[in-house]
Structure formats: structure tokens, C-alpha cells
Amino acid sequence: MKLAFLLYKYFPYGGMQRDFRRFVEECQARGHHCRIYYISWQGDAIADAELRHVPVKANTHHRRNEKFLAWVSSDLAADPVDGVVGFNKMPGLDVYYAADSCYLDKALNERGVLYRRGGRFRHFSAYEAAVFGPQSDTEILLISETEKAKFVQHYHTDEARMHMLPPGISPDRRAGPDAAERRRAAREQLGAETGEMLLLFVGSGFIKKGLDRALHALAHVREEQPHQKIRLLVVGQDKTRRFRWLARKLKVDEYVEFLGGRDDIPELLLAADTLIHPALDEAAGIVLLEALVAGLPVICTEVCGYAHHIVRAKAGLVLRSPFQQEDLNLAVLRCLDGVYRQQCRDTGLVYAEVTDLYSMHSTGAEIIERSVMHKLDKARG
């Protein structure tokens, strides 16, 4: 089959973008020709995929999205494919991968009336309704039961179109027999001192992932236990200026290291002592499970779609909603206890052995194949 994959922006360090790449590669491995439409691309191309750059610009994101859809629709009319798979919400998709949370729910619960009268709201709510509304026949690949419930509540989506996928952790994230040796080497490379606590924050999108909350928690630890060696490693591709300023204001700037986007996440997961992920909004949070299978204790908020795995695995601490900074502060202090961290590591690794946390992309590719074949069969009558 010839498949078109649609994505506004690709960069190598985003969770959704990494899933995008693995879905394309899985479909290629099954013998399908994959064409990719995109506005911007950073990082390596996907081998043997047909890349088509969409040269559109606009003053607003929603106007740019409209131009993107118009350009792609015209190109597909001239050069058709068998199925269209989208990783951003928009009309005309055969299959949509729901990495993003429910826009309408956030607009109704977190925004005011004036916002909902604007062009941005009209655009994004209409594009979401084009996927989830009752008039749509788009098949939907879901990764969060929480977000599924929101879509059903707001759009009354036919649940027959909604397919819950297992997580898709890459095997290289798992702690192998050489984990202890790799941990020593990684900590040495990071200049970690004996007894130094390394907190790891991973996520492009520092505001949404709660980096300010993590900095406040670090400041609290420094105040409560000034002799504790501790450092916060910040990994992700985003602007750092406001967070560097906050770290200076909280007098913890010497204990924070911004590492940028990295390709050596498996080594950092082994080197660290706790993952801190106090996200404001997170449809899934693949890094939570990457930490779990690496044996790294996790602190996260319950809004994260994959937080329930941390609870079931007893692999860390999940913070209640609404968020309270004191809860995060106490959670970080709890994770200073090496015995507790070892308990989290042990139970997390057992959970990783007995739970399917790995087959998202093969399962999703099978659904894509079935959905497109069903569409083609209907077209043939």
C-alpha cells in the first residue's frame, strides 16, 4: 500500500515525533511505501521514505495549519495514496494517532469566554471535531484512557473507531545485565560525585512539563538539607532563558545543568537517581515508562496518561490533582532515601518483565493496515 503520513513539525527529541518515526519504519518493514508531508524537519531523514516538504508560512499557527491542509489536499488529489495517517488533528484523515490531549476540554476548563470567541479556538476545535465528531469515520489510535474519556464526553465518539494501544518502549531503554557498569561510566562522564543525587528532567516543552515546579522542589531540598549533594539535569530542546533566571532567583543555578536535546537518553536514565516529571498536561509521558524499564524511580503528576503504570508497578510517587508544590517537595525528599529508591527499582523491573510496554508500533501498524484495506474494499464496492 501507499501511505501518506502527515506531521507539521519533526524534531528528534519529541515523544510524539519519535513515535511518528517508529510507525513509519514499522509500516516500511511491512512492505508499504510511505510518503511524509511536513512543514519543518530537524534531524536525520527516514531511510527510503518519500519526504515532501510543504512550503507554507503564516502569521499564526492556525492559519499555517489551514495552508498546510490545502497544500497537502491538492497534492494528494494529483498524486493519490491508499491511506492518510495524521499525527496532528485535521480533516480528511483515515487514521489519527492521538498523542495530544483533548483541546476542547482544556479550552472549556482552563480558558475564558473571550478565548473561545477567537479564531484560534474556532480552528483547533473544528479540526479536533473533524477527527472525533460523530460525522467522522477516522480511525483513532489512543494512548491514554483519561484522554479517551474526555473525547467521548465532548464528541460522543463512536468507541468502535477508538483503539487503545499498548505503550511502545524501545528495547534499548531496558536495564540489561551491564546496567551497573553503564551507570558508573555515565555518572563518571557527568562528573557526578560519590553520594550525589542526580535528578533527571526530560522533555521538550519546559513550561508544559513543569520545569518551574522541579526548580522550586530543588530549592526546597537545598533549604531543608543544605549538605545533600544534588543536581538537576535538564534534557530537552526548548528555550532556557526564563528557567535559568528562575534558578538564579531561587539560588540553585549552580545545581542545575541544561544539557539540551540528547541522543544518549538510555545512559542518562541509568546514571540518574530519580526522574522528576511534574507535568501540567501530558497525554501519555513515554519517558515515565522509559525510566521504569531502566530501573529509575519516577516522580510525576497524575495528569500524565502513563502515571497509572507507575502506581501499578510501585515504581515511584504519583502526585495528586490539583497540583500542590508541597507534595512535589516532599516527594523529592522521599527519594533521597536510597533504600526507597531500590524498592522502586526492583518492583519497576519486575513490572517491566510481565507487562506489555513495548508493542505499540506493531499493534498500531496492524490497525492502520486493516483500516486502509477496509476503506479500499468499500471503495471497490
Domains of the chain: 2-166+359-380 (3.40.50.2000), 172-354 (3.40.50.2000)
- Report, as an integer, the average pLDDT of 301-307: 95
- Going from the C-alpha of 102 to that of each of 38, 244, 307, the distances in angstroms are 22, 31, 17
Residue type, 68: F
Confidence of residue 65 (pLDDT cuts 50, 70, 90): very high
- Report, as an integer, the average pLDDT of 78-100: 98
- Report, as an integer, the average pLDDT of 322-346: 98
The backbone torsions φ and ψ at residue 191, rounded to the nearest 5 degrees and listed phi first, read: 75, 30
% of the chain surpassing 90 pLDDT: 96
Query: Taking the model in full, what pTM does it have?
Result: 0.91
Please report the pLDDT score of residue 170 as a whole number.
86
Please report the pLDDT score of residue 244 as a whole number.
98
Looking at the predicted structure, is the pLDDT value of residue 173 above 90? no
Looking at the predicted structure, is the pLDDT value of residue 104 above 80? yes
For 147-172, how does the pLDDT look when each residue is reduced to its tens digit (9 = 90+)? 999 999 999 999 999 999 999 998 87
> Rounded to an integer, what distance in angstroms lies between the CA atom of residue 47 and that of residue 50?
9
- Report, as an integer, the average pLDDT of 299-307: 96
> Rounded to an integer, what distance in angstroms lies between the CA atom of residue 141 and that of residue 22?
14
Q: Residue holding cell 539560588?
A: 251
Looking at the predicted structure, is the pLDDT value of residue 53 above 90? yes
% of the chain surpassing 70 pLDDT: 100
Please report the pLDDT score of residue 125 as a whole number.
98
**R_g (Cα) of the chain, nearest Å:** 22
Query: Pairing relation of β-strands 197-202 and 162-164?
Result: unpaired
For 267-282, how does the pLDDT look when each residue is reduced to its tens digit (9 = 90+)? 999 999 999 999 999 9
Confidence of residue 288 (pLDDT cuts 50, 70, 90): very high
Please report the pLDDT score of residue 108 as a whole number.
97
Looking at the predicted structure, is the pLDDT value of residue 317 above 80? yes
Three-state secondary-structure class, residue 228: coil
Question: What are the cell numbers at 171?
Answer: 528495547
Please report the pLDDT score of residue 122 as a whole number.
97
Please report the pLDDT score of residue 258 as a whole number.
98
- Residue 10 CA, chain-centre distance (Å), reads 13
- Report, as an integer, the average pLDDT of 9-18: 93
Please report the pLDDT score of residue 171 as a whole number.
81
Element (H, E) at 277: strand 274-277
